[in-house]
Chains A and B, each alone.
Chain A
Amino acid sequence: MTVSIELVPGRCEGHAVCEAIAPEVFQVDDDGIVQLVPGGDHGAETALAAVRSCPVAALRATP
């Protein structure tokens, strides 16, 4: 299954829960907003756990 993770525009508040769970996929930049790390494995279990754990629903995983 190939999964693609995307950011919901304008939603991220920089709580950085995703970064704590899956730093190889998510990185909170200097402006405090999450960015996807190029080449990160979106299908990894940790990445999907991070999507579920975003406290403000700023991340979306689509199969």
Chain B
Amino acid sequence: MMSTTTPVSDVDIFGDEVLNDPYPAYEALRGLGAAVHLSRHDCWVLPRYEQVRAALGDHGRFSSVDSVGLEPALNERRRGGVLASDPPEHEVLRGVLSESLAPRALSRLRTDIGRRAEELVAPLVRRGTFDVVRDLARVFPVSVVADLIGMPLAAREEVLRFADAFFNTFGPLNARTRESLPVAEALFDELAAMMSRDNLEPGGWGEAVHRAADRGVIGGHQVVPLLRAYLVASMDTTINAIGSGLWLLAERPEAWQALREDRSLVPLVFEEILRYESPVQIFFRRTTCPIEYEDAVIPEQAHVGLLFGSANRDSRKWTDPDRFQVDRAPMDHVGFGYGVHGCAGQGLARIEAQAVFSALLDRVDRVELAGPPRRHLNNVIRGLDSLPVTVTTGRV
């Protein structure tokens, strides 16, 4: 039942136009209300920070079961996975790797990841002109994460294609999702085979998950879905944070200079990148009871999109939100989500991004665009397909 005053919009937030530049649409949605009904998708969205954050912290009323994506048939395939479950089941799945992913454990990896970033960055800098997305951002996280899991032969292209397809299926059954379904389907079994016990190196996260199944902590059928979820979740997110971040910095030489002069800003600028160009723009939840807002009531069992990308640009929360500010330190942004489903790999993402940025800052005086960046459109991920840059080293 919708009252006549309920904020409604017919914007297609999964259409090319909005995906290319979602911010005007987000601003309009935030202006309409705290909760807006999207007539075209028959779902609700929360476009403002306060409500997104509250929903993320309230898994009792905003369930993830059968609801992290928009399309019911596609949610069924995610059933029982770590993204698509609520406590207490969710806690069991998340607990399997939470110790490995905790920053204290990850700090042991920092040196190694830093060295790998240098090995990748140094030859690119010598080349002078390269593609940030293709030569750097899409290469680094796959090799780091595949090694941590213990997948011996990182089938890089397959993993990346699967991740892109997987994220598209969180949206509606539009052309992007339809094209992604056969890709996801075809690679699904291939990834499962790569994650079978025989194919995993001992001592990695993959083996740890298999061992958790041996101990009866999780079921044997949960091993591959859990590993696949972590593998996929660690791809496009980190890749696009690095890509978008370097675009923002290439267009702001004074910001690059500030980072060169004060490296303590590097961790902060990474949070600002996630706020300004959140790699995950939206995930869904399902209401377990009616939720009242100032001018709308979302009914029980409704699909609700939590618009991270909009919340992170809400002027009710942020001063001058459309300005990219190196020293803003927006620590409570929702680029990683928040609460029980808050990104489990955020510690690793921070280490990877800081390693890449530091390796570049060590060597590069100036980053300039060497051609027009090209956007890659995905139903829920915001990022780039190509970012050609030319870098200048210190010796003038």
Contact surface of A with B, Cβ cutoff 8 Å: 10-11, 13-17, 21, 28, 32, 49, 52-53, 55-57
Contact = CB atoms under 8 A, between A and B. Distances in A.
B119 interface: no
Interface of B is mostly: helix
B188 interface: no
Given A53-B331, A53-B332, A55-B336, 11 more contacts: A11-B340, A13-B101, A13-B102, A15-B103, A15-B346, A28-B104, A32-B103, A32-B104, A49-B331, A52-B331, A56-B339
Interface of A is mostly: loop
Contacts of B257: none
A11 B340 CA distance: 8
Given A10-B91, A17-B331, A21-B331, A55 B343 contact: yes
Interface string B42-76: 00000000000000110000000000000000000
Ranked 10 nearest A-B pairs via Cβ: A32-B104, A53-B331, A14-B102, A57-B339, A55-B342, A52-B332, A56-B342, A53-B332, A32-B102, A57-B57
Contacts of B56: 57
30 contacts: A10-B91, A13-B101, A14-B102, A14-B103, A14-B104, A16-B104, A17-B331, A21-B331, A28-B104, A32-B99, A32-B102, A32-B105, A49-B331, A49-B332, A52-B331, A52-B332, A53-B331, A55-B336, A55-B338, A55-B342, A55-B346, A56-B338, A56-B339, A56-B340, A57-B56, A57-B57, A57-B338, A57-B339, A57-B340, A57-B342
Contacts of B339: 56-57
B98 interface: yes
Contacts of B102: 13-15, 32
Interface residues of B, number: 21
Contacts of B101: 13
A57 B342 CA distance: 8
B59 to A, nearest CB: 10
Contacts, number: 45
Contacts of B321: none
B15 interface: no
Contacts of A15: 102-103, 346-347
Nearest to A28: B104
Contacts of A13: 98, 101-102, 344
Interface string B94-115: 0000110111110000000000
A49 B102 CA distance: 21
Contacts of A55: 336, 338, 342-343, 346
Nearest to B339: A57
Contacts of B346: 15, 55
A11 to B, nearest CB: 8
A17 B338 CA distance: 13
Contacts of B347: 15
Q: Which of B56, B91, B102, B338 has the most CB of A within 10 A?
A: B102
